[in-house]
Amino acid sequence: MRYSELLLPTLKETPTEAEVVSHRLLLRAGFIRKLTSGIYTYLPLGLAAIRKVEQIVREEMNRAGAQELLMPMVQPADLWKESGRWEKYGPELLRFTDRHERESCLGPTHEEVITDLVRREIHSYRNLPVNLYQIQTKFRDEIRPRFGLMRGREFIMKDGYSFDATEKGAELTYQKMYNAYSRIFMRCGLSFRAVEADTGTIGGSFSHEFMVLADTGEDTLAICKDCAYAANMEKAAVKPFEKTGEETELLPLKKVETPGKKKVEKVCDFLGISPKQLVKTMVYLADGDPVAVLVRGDHEVQPVKLKNMLGAIEVELADEKQVFDITGVPSGYLGPIGLDIPVAADQVVSAMANFTAGANEKNFHLQNINFPRDFQVFQVADLRQVTEEDSCPSCGGGLELTKGIEVGHIFKLGDSYSKALNATFQDGSSEEQNFIMGCYGIGVSRTVAAAIEQNHDDNGIIFPLPLAPFQVIILNLDPKNKEISSAAESLYAQLQHEGMEVLIDDRDERPGIKFKDADLIGIPNRVTVGKRFAQEGEVEIRKRRDGQTQSLPLDKAMAEIVESIRHEMAATKE
């Protein structure tokens, strides 16, 4: 491709709308342009990078035995009502009616559609297992779309669904998809981890997220330093607190005045205690109903763990006015004794002795509180965020908290959808059984953004070779010089003949602009044809990632580039 003929509108300045690195660079490099909030046009190089991800996905999904199809983006409300998700999914589901007043939605995902297809077409265990996938545009009406392709309303996604006759078969399919996803992200040239995750609105019993590791990631991961355990913060388990063999003397309750001391730090400083000796009483609204949650002073409630424990659709922290309206106590002075709303406790609290908490009276706290002597709860559970002070729940080793970006998610759904939609098949005994399902998603456009978040510098994008829109960019530094232009064109033709993806910058621009644009768009290999060739017969080869350069004659340069690219591409497939 010739740069002079390419739609590649690079920008010198960062657009004010750009919030994260990938958003900024995708706009500056001319890969995307915003149409409206959370919706973007993919320009030629942006689309080329997306197509690279799609190709890798297709190859690995087909290799794992999955079959590609394409389902409608518009879905009838009847299917979603049948599954129970029409109300449950929330405002992110864009609902509308057609001219006949029939309700529909734009598909954010396709569990209902694929289950309806399979229940109509597959009736016997002899036709199982089956694994179907598509790569398609999705729409989720995000309340606050941001970060460009990282959290848009419209995006490109690969979603796949498996149907098995037995739980054992479903587990084998899940493992196949786990392995396929691992190969996909390795072939994309990304540093990633598969982590245990919450199933969210998709549902199901078990899931893994595939997270690209990046300092700018919006998700925090807990990774064991000694074993393969990894989980996101919503799922990261905390090992039960083990009491020592020593019995602690339970002291009598003591009411103390704490005037104006509401925050944990202020109360602890005033009383001369550690946050580890204090318990916070947090009020949450679970589907509108209040519940109090007890956590140690230096810990935080994990809302998803709480939501799952309660079986709630939505959980949110009550504000100060709501807390007072519900309890009659100002926020900061709440405690578990005498509280007339349901109380749940994190497992650490149940193991504490002689702790301090609010007295349910303004400006007062109680000391030497003990459970279950002084109060009762309806449930003790793991309800808090994991910290680096915790040990791995798998091996007991140390945990490290790091940032990541979700690019893939696989779910073991079981029969939740097949039962709701009455999707059955006949087993070997001619008995009707529900399909055992799995669900497997990859954010294709999001993967490109995540790759940039992980691979960039101050000058622009540094694409992993498998995702780069072009493998090589040739800079013709003097298009008016016949000798230099002839050499650049010859190299361009030879590299294309060898099957390389090449962009030649043949614009009549200053060398400095060409160098800056080449760095900005992130092509892995740069070949400069300029004065050195005219004087010494050599061209310069430069690696975008590490800046390593070498000068070689034209024929040797061509051989070096081809060998380097073929070697690197082969390595990603091993």
- CATH code, domain with 34: 3.30.930.10
319 and 217 in one domain?
no
46 and 191 in one domain?
yes
Is the pLDDT at 203 greater than 60? The verdict is no
What is d(CA 85, CA 93) in angstroms, rounded to the nearest whole number?
10
pTM value?
0.85
Q: For residue 160, what is the DSSP state? A: E
351 and 208 in one domain?
no
223 and 270 in one domain?
no
At 145-157, the pLDDT tens digits run 989 999 999 999 9
51 and 169 in one domain?
yes
Note whether residue 547 is domain-resident.
yes
Residue 346 exposed, middle or buried by CB count within 10 Å (0-12, 13-18, 19+): buried
Pairing of strands 502-505, 472-476: parallel
Q: What is the CATH number of the domain that holds 367?
A: 3.90.960.10
Is the pLDDT at 199 greater than 60? The verdict is no
| pLDDT attached to residue 202 | 46
Note whether residue 389 is domain-resident.
no
What is d(CA 496, CA 482) in angstroms, rounded to the nearest whole number?
21
| pLDDT attached to residue 382 | 94
Residue 449's SS3 state is helix
Lowest mean pLDDT segment, chosen from 228-232, 380-384, 534-538, 542-546: 228-232
105 and 162 in one domain?
yes
Note whether residue 498 is domain-resident.
yes
Number of domains the chain contains? 3
At 27-51, the pLDDT tens digits run 999 999 999 999 999 999 999 999 9
319 and 171 in one domain?
no
Q: What is the CATH number of the domain that holds 559?
A: 3.40.50.800
178 and 59 in one domain?
yes
What is d(CA 254, CA 364) in angstroms, rounded to the nearest whole number?
10
Minimal CA–CA distance to 329: which of 288, 400, 281?
Answer: 281
Is the pLDDT at 244 greater than 60? The verdict is no
Is the pLDDT at 11 greater than 60? The verdict is yes
Residue 354: pLDDT band (50, 70, 90) is very high
335 and 188 in one domain?
no
513 and 560 in one domain?
yes
160 and 75 in one domain?
yes
Q: Which two tokens stand for residue 464?
A: 């992993």
Minimal CA–CA distance to 42: which of 152, 130, 146?
Answer: 152
Note whether residue 47 is domain-resident.
yes
Is the pLDDT at 245 greater than 70? The verdict is no
The answer to whether the Cα torsion of 78, 82, 88, 93 is positive or negative is negative
Is the pLDDT at 204 greater than 60? The verdict is no
Q: Which two tokens stand for residue 294?
A: 């007890």
What is d(CA 521, CA 519) in angstroms, rounded to the nearest whole number?
6
Question: Domain range for residue 516?
Answer: 470-573
Note whether residue 1 is domain-resident.
no
442 and 334 in one domain?
no
Note whether residue 527 is domain-resident.
yes
Mean of the pLDDT values across residues 53-73? 98
Note whether residue 281 is domain-resident.
yes
- Angle of CA points 256, 259, 261, to nearest 5°: 95
Note whether residue 460 is domain-resident.
no
What is d(CA 229, CA 155) in angstroms, rounded to the nearest whole number?
30
Residue 477's SS3 state is coil
Is the pLDDT at 170 greater than 50? The verdict is yes
Average pLDDT, the chain: 94
